[in-house]
Amino acid sequence: MPLRPIGRSGPLVSRFGLGTMTFGSETSEDEAHRQLDLFTAAGGTLIDTADVYGAGASEEIIGRWAAQRTGGYDDLILATKARFAPPPNSAGASWRGLRIALEASLLRLRAEAIDIYFIHGWDQKTSIDETLSTLADFVAEGNIHHVAWSNLSGWQLQKIVSHARAHRLPVPVALQPQYNLLDRTIEIEVLPCCAEEGIGLTPWSPLGGGWLTGKYSPDERPTGATRLGEDPDRGVEAYDRRNTDRTWRILLELREVAAELVRQPGHVALAWLADRPCVSAPLLGARTVAQLSDNLAAANFVLPAEHTERLTRASAPGLPAYPYGFLRDWSELDIWRTLGTENQE
């Protein structure tokens, strides 16, 4: 699997990362270990988890796997997150909250240090200075190597970066947002900020919660042993939320491109995302080894330019007239044309 840098100053990682949100909840330990074996055998190096995945079980499962593995984490990039499971009487991104969370994650993962430590989301109760100063202490102590964030708006990310640069505190090397053919909202503000500041993306939900594999239809609610089959109202990929004319237009174009290239729709969707600007490593999140094996078939697949353009055009979310259209026309900003965010129809 090809290696890429995360942003301007992060480590080299594999073209796809392994997301482990299912470990300990939807995926058994034995199945999780087989996924880890398969992923690393395919050349995967980035393993991404969080302290809230399986209420800590995901980190424990990864830690037991690494303890049995020759070299442990030596040839891997380990990422975890904190923020949403704070100890009692502490805010999630506070000094106390992060200190206790990091110590617990290191124990569960059986790791000496975390390569990329993500703050899992904005904390309105804690100042950016406190969070960044705490992370700087972790870096100085050798407990983490790089700082990153997840689930931010554009202004929040810029505030973090500006404060970090002004006070010589750790600047994020990565951001982990939702990003896929069905949801390109980050292209309005977040992705331009990442491009400006040299921040890499490790997107979650690269297949839109399974929508981009082509498994769902417009006239039949999902059932059975799939994420939406078990919970049709699940989060951002909820069936009723995404069952729109726009979704089916994008999926039709995706299926046509996949048929022309003799590939599965999911492979095409992953390849499109993997080569978007600023994207370092989309996270493959699977419940089974079979699902992960299927996704890994896209590890070296690169879309031809004409098919990339077709999918980019078909999934363009459009650009609000103000202030973005105004900025495009009167301030000569071409980022949204470069990204294909504008609806050209």
Which residues are identified as catalytic? 53
Distance CA 172, CA 180 (A): 22
Distance CA 281, CA 13 (A): 7
What is the DSSP track for 111-158?
-S-EEEEEE-S--TTS-HHHHHHHHHHHHHHTSEEEEEEES--HHHHH
**Residue 150 dihedral angles phi and psi, to the nearest 5°:** -140, 150
- Count of CB atoms within 10 A of residue 131's CB? 26
Q: Are 167 and 129 in contact (CB under 8 A)?
A: yes
Distances in Å between the alpha carbon of 113 and those of 49, 93, 107, 127, 231?
A: 14, 19, 10, 25, 36
Pinpoint the alpha helices (H) of the chain: 29-41, 57-67, 95-109, 128-141, 154-166, 190-197, 227-230, 239-242, 245-261, 265-274, 289-296, 305-314, 326-330, 335-339
By DSSP bridging, strand 114-119 and strand 144-150 are parallel
Which residues, at least 6 apart from 151, have a Cβ–Cβ distance to it below 8 Å? 120, 121, 122, 176, 177, 178
Task: Tell me the one-letter amino acid at 110.
Answer: R
Instruction: Please count the CA atoms within 13 angstroms of the CA of 170 that sit on its side-chain side.
Output: 25
Whole-angstrom distance, CA of residue 315 vs CA of residue 320: 15
